[in-house]
Structure 1
Amino acid sequence: MTKPVVVGVDGSPASMDAVGTASREAGIRGAELRLVHAVGGPSALLPAGGPPWNPAAAGVRELLDGTLAAAERRARDTAPRVRITRDVAVGEPLMVLEIASRTASLVVVGSRGLGAFGSLLLGSTSAHLAAHGRCPVFVVRGRPNPAGPVLLGVDDSVASGDAVPFAFQEASLRGADLTVVHVCPLGSPDGYDGPADPPFVTYDETHLRKKAEHVLDAALAGLREKYPDVTVRLRPVVGRVRHTLIGMSADAQLLVVGARGRGGFTGLLLGSASQAVLHHAHCPVTVVHHRGEDPAATGGRTEDRL
């Protein structure tokens, strides 16, 4: 049985947009949609007389019912056949969504909000769930091109191993092409993606491009045969990682990246490159958390993170 799609609900416009997106995602997966509202944030978000640990207190139940009912209407308008459940959880939003991710196929959050999830929804929630969640995290942002491809960023770390099959599945479910990009940063064969290229550095662009092609071939091994319906386009690029991803996202309907690992997209997505993609990508971003061992936790070398 397909695990549910979970969406954080707080009543804000961004949250309602996330509900619409989550219902579509549930529809194409044949999954249940689970609306989750967290009670336990700042007391200013609750009516007077309703302590955050008691969602049944006077006025709070009416507030929750109204918020969740509006979210359910939005979901049904978008995907009438999707089964919908509601869940009011006591706790901080980050922890509530992290726990919900343990039994979900996908967690959907908005890029901004004003309610309980509020300021957490841009960057910190997605970064937190990328590091600690148990399923992919879909951040609703930008204006996706519905006719565009699914865009997948890969590197040579183990974390890309989970993002790659997810991107193939997404492209297959959506009937979309899949563009797979690996960026070898300018500066040195080992990669450099700082604020500017260091002075007097020389590099062999042909070597870097061949290295990118090798990474792409290795990442896609066996998946083209598993998804023969997906048209795949490989894009080995020599340039700057974040600029490349953000630029290419303008023509995509979804950007998929891995989280955790060594360097490249995965390491960067827990640092400043994460903020760059989540703030500036032109389409929604799905962060796929690596479920295997973290090289840093097993004695592996972790590259500098921006």
Structure 2
Amino acid sequence: MAQVLPGRGSARKGARSPTTEVAAVTLPLMVGIDGSEASLEAVDWAAAESLRHGVPLHLVHAAVPEHAASGLVAVASARARRSAPAARLSDEVVHEEAAAALVAKGRNAFALVLGSRGLGDLAGLLLGSVSLAVAAHADCPVIVVRGGAEHRQGRFGSVVVGVEEGEGSDTALLFAFREAQVRRCRLVAVHAWSVPVGNPGPPGLSGYALQAGRRPPAQVLADKLAGPAERYRDVAVSSEVVEGSARRALLHEASRADVIVVGARRRHGHVGLQLGLVNHTVLHHAPCPVVVVPAL
């Protein structure tokens, strides 16, 4: 299940061909730590996740000042070892601004895991500024660990994924299937839709009938699920087609989920992703860990 990174070195010494060889390197699951309780909860969650996927766990503390960095990392490492003694653990300190450093580290990561709040965040914030910035700019999946113990410890047996028409959620859907497989739990695929504004249709004709005249929403979801379901045949899937707000539908399903997965589109002509209203709502309000997966 681990992702692989092509090797970038020169050809092996003594090789007959000048062609660069490609070596498979297991990408680590990286956790941003800052000493806050939220980041330590993220360490606990990530330690278990690294074992599920069979990838190394790498703790990163990124901050410009060096004060107490080694002690902070030692505490987080000890916590990871208690949570998952079998995890392949490493750590490092990066003396750079946190969000930029974590985004850079994410270029060679299986995923980046962050707490929902940091030490420096204002009390009124629903989501920490670093977590939001990283989610908006990272090239790899970003996981923000939210919610109480029952959601963080996998007691619901459910992974939820938002599915939209087009290609924006395709990579997220694959991530969600894989997550459900390693957790051995069910996948709930949610597709929300609404009638276009200014197109009320004939009197008495329901919104679903209007939409079905073009392409039934249930068919949109079924078509999206067909390929991944064939690949992950052992994953039990339930489909939820909802007329109305995608934000409301996803938060409703997240209330009984261990993880919720959403896709993020890349902005044309700009660096980073387009975190729309759905992404922001889930990141700020979901009662369980949230995975934001960039579209390829």
What range is the shorter-chain TM-score in? 0.7 to 0.9
Q: 2-side partners of 1:273 and 1:172: how far apart?
A: 25
1:37 is aligned to 2:61:
yes
Aligned to 2:191: 182
Aligned to 1:204: 207
Contiguous gaps of at least 5 residues in structure 1: 41-51, 263-267, 292-306
User: Which of 237, 258, 263 is 1:258 aligned to?
Assistant: 263
1:234 maps to a residue whose letter is S
Aligned to 1:169: 178
Aligned to 2:159: 150
Contiguous gaps of at least 5 residues in structure 2: 1-24, 268-272
Aligned to 1:302: none
Mark the CA change 1:75 to 1:81 in structure 2 (over 3 Å): closer, same or farther: same
1:20 is aligned to 2:44:
yes
Q: 1:2 Cα shift?
A: 2.7
Which consecutive segments of 4 or more residues in structure 1 shift more than 3 A?
115-121, 123-131, 206-210
Q: 2-side partners of 1:259 and 1:98: how far apart?
A: 15
Q: 1-side partners of 2:284 and 2:252: how far apart?
A: 13
Mark the CA change 1:243 to 1:161 in structure 2 (over 3 Å): closer, same or farther: same
The answer (yes or no) to whether the contact 2:29–2:46 under 8 Å persists in 1 is yes
The answer (yes or no) to whether the contact 2:161–2:261 under 8 Å persists in 1 is yes
TM-score (norm 1): 0.76
Aligned to 2:107: 102
Mark the CA change 1:133 to 1:121 in structure 2 (over 3 Å): closer, same or farther: farther
Mark the CA change 1:116 to 1:97 in structure 2 (over 3 Å): closer, same or farther: farther
2:253 maps to a residue whose letter is M
Aligned to 1:232: 237
The answer (yes or no) to whether the contact 1:123–1:278 under 8 Å persists in 2 is no
The answer (yes or no) to whether the contact 2:136–2:274 under 8 Å persists in 1 is no
Which aligned pairs between 1:1-306 and structure 2 lie closer than 5 A? 1-40=25-64, 52=65, 55=66, 60=67, 63-115=68-120, 122=127, 124-143=129-148, 144=151, 146-185=155-194, 188=195, 190=196, 204-208=207-211, 211-260=216-265, 270-291=275-296
Q: 1-side partners of 2:288 and 2:51: how far apart?
A: 20
The answer (yes or no) to whether the contact 2:115–2:131 under 8 Å persists in 1 is no
Q: Secondary structure of 2:92's match?
A: strand
Q: 2-side partners of 1:127 and 1:157: how far apart?
A: 25
Q: 1-side partners of 2:175 and 2:193: how far apart?
A: 23
Deviations 1:63-114 (A, max 9, x none): 1111111101110111101111111112111101101110100100011121
Number of residue pairs the alignment of both structures matches: 258
The answer (yes or no) to whether the contact 2:46–2:113 under 8 Å persists in 1 is yes
Aligned to 2:6: none
RMSD: 2.9
Q: 1:169 Cα shift?
A: 0.3
Q: 1-side partners of 2:78 and 2:233: how far apart?
A: 37
Q: 2-side partners of 1:123 and 1:12: how far apart?
A: 11
Identity over aligned residues, as a percent? 41
Q: Secondary structure of 1:251's match?
A: coil
Q: 2-side partners of 1:191 and 1:163: how far apart?
A: 28
More helix by share: 1
Aligned to 1:46: none
The answer (yes or no) to whether the contact 2:51–2:87 under 8 Å persists in 1 is yes
Q: 1:123 Cα shift?
A: 5.8
Q: 2-side partners of 1:118 and 1:133: how far apart?
A: 25
